[in-house]
Structure 1
Amino acid sequence: MSQPIHLSIDAMGGDQGSRLVVLATLAFLKSRPDVVVTLVGDESDIQQHIPSTVGESLLARICFLHTDNTVGMAERAGDVLRSKQSSSMWQAIALVADAKADACVSGGNTGALMAIGCKLIKTFDGVRRPAICKLIPTYTGTSLLLDLGANINCSAGQLEQFGVMGSALAQLSGVAKPSVALLNIGTERSKGSSTIQAAAEALRQREGINFTGFIEGNDLYSGKVDVVVCDGLVGNVALKVSEGVANFVFSSLAEAFLSSWWGRFSGWMARPVLSHWRRSFNPSRYNGAAFLGLRRTLVKSHGGADQLGFEQALHVAVTQVLARIPERIESCLKQG
């Protein structure tokens, strides 16, 4: 029997505390007998959320690494690097850096997570900072979007690297010749800042990259391209606005259906369609963003993710490990 995949989990990260992390982990382990985990954090707090009905065989696949310290969501990355070596986030990432775990998952402070990841796991040669990358739903399936918040101000060289890494990840997912575009304020070649223009020119000149030019925000979910590249500020805002619009639309529909007897009848008739729509585009199904450019797998879960969302982040980590994504992206970078 092959070695199980070992996930290191920051049990104290995220907005909803350790209970959600524990319950999501238990549900995930039931579906993945090939995985073992180490839950990092306050062990007494973690243990109290494990139901007494959990079987011994499942408990045997869970280890605990106790630490009293945590990283707050509002803490500055520089302060965390100086004073939070004993935190659950630091210790969880250290397990991966020391090759004691295959991947780490945390829903904690994004800036701190990236800073610790860069310090302990380190980036590939030539990669200054990693990019947060995740799948987004589209009309035709899914596309990759990066960066989603790790790098607020990006140079043209960084945007070019993001395009290369995103293209490599798409290829590893089965797309033979991924199309890559830069998110911009227009599709004309003259549009955008000097940084965007320089990044576009670099991607046009780069062999092995199918660069198609610019894409606007209204086409983000069209499926016209396989990889959408932008800086972290634009990407994070685009993602959060999209999530807000989806929630607004669904809530507005729910209110409309409850406003009258005819609305309630229409809602009852439309329920199967709406349920299918909600399942298909539920943000939780797309939770879990990998830091591309790091030498080992580090996955960021949305801080406000529900149990299904955190389970999905764990699935992303396992998928990255099984496909050897970091090693294969490094190979693609060297080819450039």
Structure 2
Amino acid sequence: MIRISIDAMGGDHGPAVVLPGLMKVIERRPDVTFLLFGLAEEVEPVLAKLPRLAALSEFHHCEVSVRMDDKPSQALRHGRWKSSMWRAIEAVKNGDADVCISAGNTGALMAMSKFCLRPMANIERPAIAAIWPTMRSECVVLDVGANIGADPQQLVDHAILGAAMAHSIFQLDRPAVGLLNVGVEEIKGQEDVREAGRMLREAALPSMDYRGFVEGDDIAKGTVDVVVTEGFSGNIALKTAEGTARQIGEYLREAMSRTLLARIGYVFARSAFRRLREKLDVRKINGGVFLGLNGIVVKSHGGADEEGFAAAVDLGYDMARRRLIDTIREQLEHFHDRQPKPEAAAADGVAT
């Protein structure tokens, strides 16, 4: 059984969306149970209407709910130890749950996750990774918002984290990895990005197939399985993709309803448009994974509907089932074991 801890108060709609979303998960995941954390006066009335979910869940009343507009420092000060968000994360730390899901305040969730779970050894800054639909299939993109800026070592760490996630989720032996840049030529881009590229080339890690630099349009093309960047550009790319998908969807709806002939044509091409709508469904990229922590935390979009929240839970389930944390630890250890030790580097300097 996979046990998932849920911050039932997270998101714009709280239990009214979170709990029905879990019902959708139950329909396709027969081996899942839930730990629910939230305010009893809001959770229990909704849970009472969902007896099947109640039978597979264990509810814990919490005194505090983190608000969507709370600053991370405020959330830590007032919600540590007692909020639904903290206790959902703590369940992973204590081994009571395999993964935590929350649609709550992103900054607060990251701050609490880092404080409670702690970053893995050799990881300075955890990253947020997203599953991105492409023309080929899907890819992992990170960081999409955890950190503004990243030095070369942090970009290398992100590449290792993303490759481990692609290995776990997509079942790829050596995921293709690229660094997001303003051009594919090695002389282009910021110095930190160029240095990270050099480090990845020289490391020649067996856990990934480093392909060099990729550009923004390569994300949608599916040129690589993992796209690595820092949080500022990654978040802009993510929001741009979401907005573009909605824009195209609106264009299609408008075009199909403009004339009688267009409406008749839609009837005959309905199955094709249904498939296109599924491809453009931004809910399918709902779920940002906090990578680099000693536990799995998935952030669902605050405005997600029931299906969107269920998609985030599905993602967490898959990573727990495929033992993502073990894979990341193995690949990080392998990378750092290959790096020259400080004493060896100093000896080399004297010898030369």
**TM-score (norm: length of structure 2):** 0.90
Corresponding residue for residue 134 of structure 2? 138
Contact 2:156 2:200 in 1 (8 A): yes
| Alignment check: 8 A CA contact 1:180 1:212 kept | yes
Give the letter for the 1:67 counterpart.
Answer: C
C-alpha deviations, 1:163-209, integer Å up to 9, x for none? 01111222233222221111111112111111111111111111314
| Distance in structure 1 (CA, Å) of the matches to 2:2 and 2:209 | 34
Find the counterpart in structure 2 of residue 95 from structure 1. Answer: 91
Q: CA RMSD in A?
A: 1.6
Is contact 1:11-1:41 (8 Å) kept?
A: yes
Give the whole-Å Cα distance in 2 for the aligned partners of 1:281 and 1:261: 25
Cα 1:51–1:280 shift into 2, 3 Å:
farther
Residues 1:45 and 2:38 aligned together: no
Aligned to 1:64: 59
Q: Deviations over 1:256-284 (max 9, x none)?
A: 22122222223323322111111233122
Structure-2 residue corresponding to 1:179: 176
Query: SS at 2:22's partner residue?
Result: helix
Please, what TM-score do these two structures have when normalized by structure 1?
0.94
Q: 2:147, 2:231 within 8 Å by CA — same for their partners in 1?
A: yes
Q: What is the CA distance between 1:82 and its match in structure 2? A: 2.1
- The 5 Å alignment of 1:1-336 reads 4-50=1-47, 52=49, 54-55=51-52, 58-85=53-80, 86-172=82-168, 173-208=170-205, 209-336=208-335
Q: SS in structure 2 opposite 1:99?
A: coil
Change in Cα spacing, 1:237 to 1:283, as seen in structure 2 (3 Å) is same
Change (3 A) 1:325 1:45: same
Identity of aligned residues (%): 36
Which ranges in structure 2 are unaligned for 5 or more consecutive residues? 336-352
> What 5-or-longer segments of structure 1 have no aligned partner?
none
Mark the CA change 1:206 to 1:41 in structure 2 (over 3 Å): closer, same or farther.
same
Amino acid paired to 2:41 = S
3-state SS, counterpart of residue 144 of structure 1:
strand
Give 1:239 deviation, angstroms.
0.9
AA of the residue aligned to 2:61: H
2:89 partner letter? I
Cα distance, 1:30 vs structure 2:
3.4
- The structure richer in helix per residue is 2
How many residue pairs were aligned? Answer: 331
Query: Following the alignment from structure 2 to structure 1, what is the Cα–Cα distance between the partners of residues 193 and 101?
Result: 32
